[in-house]
Amino acid sequence: MTIEALARITQNEFSGLRKAINDGFENTPSKGDLWEIQADIRHGFKQVGEDIKEVKVVLPPTLRAVGKLELDVKEITKRLERVERKVGLGK
């Protein structure tokens, strides 16, 4: 094999490699695309933070109401059992 043939083969290899690299970067997002994605992510995190703040405001009164309802259900259940025993339907 001559030096010229070896040089031609090497040149073809580098050309093929350059083309493969360039083709691979065609589908790579641009910096502008990445900035847009980053802005969307920041907006999403901000929205999640606002939703969490709302939950923190609404949750405590809801938990108190549920606790009171549980006590009411227990009281009503006791009363019902007492009435059932009085009328002869007790368990």
The 8-class DSSP code of residue 30 comes to: P
When mean pLDDT is compared across 3-12, 24-33, 67-76, the lowest value belongs to: 24-33
pLDDT number for residue 1: 67
CA 76 to chain centre: 42
Q: How confident is the model at residue 71 (pLDDT cuts 50, 70, 90)?
A: very high
For residues 65 and 12, the model is more confident at: 65
Cβ atoms 91, 81 nearer than 8 A: yes
The residue ranges of every structural domain in the chain are 3-87
Where on the phi/psi map is residue 29: left (φ > 0), alpha (ψ -120 to 50), or beta? beta
Question: What token pair was written down for 1?
Answer: 């094999």
Which tens digit of pLDDT belongs to each residue from 20-68?
777 777 777 778 888 999 999 999 999 999 999 999 999 999 999 999 9
